[in-house]
Structure 1
Amino acid sequence: MLRDDVNPETVILAVAKAIEATFDRSSWLELALLTNTRDVVLSHHRLLRSMDWGDPDYFGNIAEVVPQMLGEGRQRRGRTSARTSFPNFKIVEDFLDLPNWLRRSVPDLYAKLYGGPVPVDALQAAATELGITDVDEHAARIRRGLHDDPAQAIGSAKELLETVLKSILGLHGTGRETRLDIPELLKKANVQLGLDPAGVRARDPGAEQRRKALGALSQLVVSTAELRNAGFGTGHGVSQRPELDVATARLVVAAATAAATFYLEAHAADDD
């Protein structure tokens, strides 16, 4: 989610860098059509030509066009956030897959635009290591929904944790044996990984403190499931869904992703 305090010029810089690195003529025209700026792109006296010829002023030409593609001018910047200054930002962000591109290519800019993200990066790394592919889809939905659709973020967070725990437990398909709620899945995962009071790791240094921390985290995770089941998250048919504030959504989503990351990493360590 784009930070509320990000400088609009930083947004322009990030978008321009992503375009410079990834665009061809077709990409320019497609995004121009999506943002209703075809005339802006085609009428610029140097933009596409400088791209075709690899001219050194190509980036500068991009920077001249990007604000209009983002929608600047339809709303005055003033003291508003970049999100409200640029009504087309979401279209451009999705087209460029901007968060993922910045994270891989320009981490410093990623931090300026999306600082303090939900901790899904370590989660995705741990899931990839174990060959769990569904996690990326859940993480992407969480990122997209956290600000614009907290209910979607909470529903996806619960699904994320269920996916991770069931994968660790080897539960696949839709049979009766897989229909376990979050508390039962957590309990079974603790037993399998030796994290329960009677487990093989019960005498490890810090085991008691780890159990307390894990217990507190588990309570937050269970609350995530309960919020979703109460109608605050997607997944059940609710005609008039209650609204949840973004701050609380961040809390429960962060708890779910932290727990998922912990169990994936504990599972990986258990297999070593």
Structure 2
Amino acid sequence: MKNQKIPDHIADDDGLFGRFKIALSEALAVSMDESEWKKFAVRYGLRDRIIGHERFIRSLQWGDADHEGHVLDLIEQLSYSNVPAFLDLVERPNVKRALKRKDPEIFDIWQHDVDPVVTALSHSLGEVAAVSSVIDLKTHIERIEKALPDDPYLAVGATKDLLEAAMRTILTNRGHTDVRKLHFPELTSTCFNELGLSPQTPPASKGEGHIRKISSNARKMIETANELRNLTGTGHGHVVGTEEELSVEDASLVASNGLILAAWILKKAAP
């Protein structure tokens, strides 16, 4: 069984968990037949709760409207009194297909654990008015969030795409042409020069000098993210299974820093 417990990001959110239980009950009502329910009842010691219930099986046999309600009552009980039985129902292939049809968003939320750092940063980034006025980062952020923790390689690639989109947008909005022809290192140099963050430009004060050092390190981080993506990520003719090993923790570090850097350069570029 994939999940050994109810995911924390669902169990800790009463509203989300309630929504999931409703969607699950709807999926079970259309995907579980009488035989499956009876086998399930025997396996988990739920004979009295299902087979001996006055209406549970009868409402299923007659296709009565109250069957879904009886399923919901059972799901509510199992969610706190018999979690293994609850998870058994969730992980059944026919139930998962029905759940995905009923509520694709809640299905995806169940399937993917969330990275708390990336999620917090992405929400903060989405709320920055100066950023949202320059570029809509929603699609890139969603790709990063969905990639973790199951696909660290995709997370790094999505982070590189996010940074690239941010820099191309900055240059385009400032009148640069043919920015799509720029390779990543040249794109980064051009963007930082445009923002007055080039190390060749003398700082106006000691404080600005320190900021230049920070921006120089930020630029190195952006360039390194691209290099890591080329080494471990998708594309570039890599043979599947031969990529450099990349841990979820390292991918999370790249993704969280990428979100911070994207916000920083976009705020720098905002009028």
Q: TM-score range by the shorter chain?
A: 0.5 to 0.7
Distance (whole Å) between structure 2 residues aligned to residue 74 and residue 30 of structure 1: 14
Report the equivalent of 2:47: none
Question: Cα deviation per residue 1:99-121 (whole Å; 9 max; x = unaligned)?
Answer: 6xxxxxxxxxx9xx753335222
Aligned residue for 2:127, secondary structure, equals helix
Alignment of 1:198-217 (within 5 A): 202-203=203-204, 206-217=207-218
Counterpart among 184, 190, 193 of residue 191 in structure 1: 193
Q: What letter is aligned with 1:63?
A: E
Counterpart among 180, 183, 191 of residue 181 in structure 1: 183
RMSD of aligned Cα (Å): 4.7
- How many aligned positions are there? 229
Q: What letter is aligned with 1:222?
A: E
Counterpart among 10, 18, 23 of residue 20 in structure 1: 18
CA contact (8 A) 2:143 2:158 kept: yes
Question: Cα deviation per residue 1:128-168 (whole Å; 9 max; x = unaligned)?
Answer: 621523x2111111112121111100111111100111011
Q: C-alpha displacement at 1:206, in angstroms?
A: 2.4
Aligned residue for 1:187, secondary structure, equals helix
1:96–1:158 CA distance, 2 compared to 1 (3 A): same
Give unpaired runs (5+ residues) of structure 1.
1-6, 52-57, 77-85, 100-109
1:142–1:32 CA distance, 2 compared to 1 (3 A): farther
Alignment of 1:216-231 (within 5 A): 216-230=217-231
Counterpart among 111, 131, 135 of residue 132 in structure 1: 135
Aligned residue for 2:238, secondary structure, equals coil
Counterpart among 96, 118, 133 of residue 106 in structure 2: 96
Q: What letter is aligned with 2:269?
A: H
What TM-score results when the alignment is normalised by the length of structure 1?
Answer: 0.62
Give unpaired runs (5+ residues) of structure 2.
41-49, 60-65
Percent identical pairs in the alignment equals 23
CA contact (8 A) 2:166 2:266 kept: yes
Distance (whole Å) between structure 1 residues aligned to residue 234 and residue 15 of structure 2: 35
Q: What letter is aligned with 2:164?
A: E
Q: What letter is aligned with 1:95?
A: E
Asked if residue 64 in structure 1 is aligned to residue 67 in structure 2, the reply is no
What TM-score results when the alignment is normalised by the length of structure 2?
Answer: 0.63
Report the equivalent of 2:263: 261
The structure having more radius of gyration, on CA atoms, is: 2
1:47–1:130 CA distance, 2 compared to 1 (3 A): farther
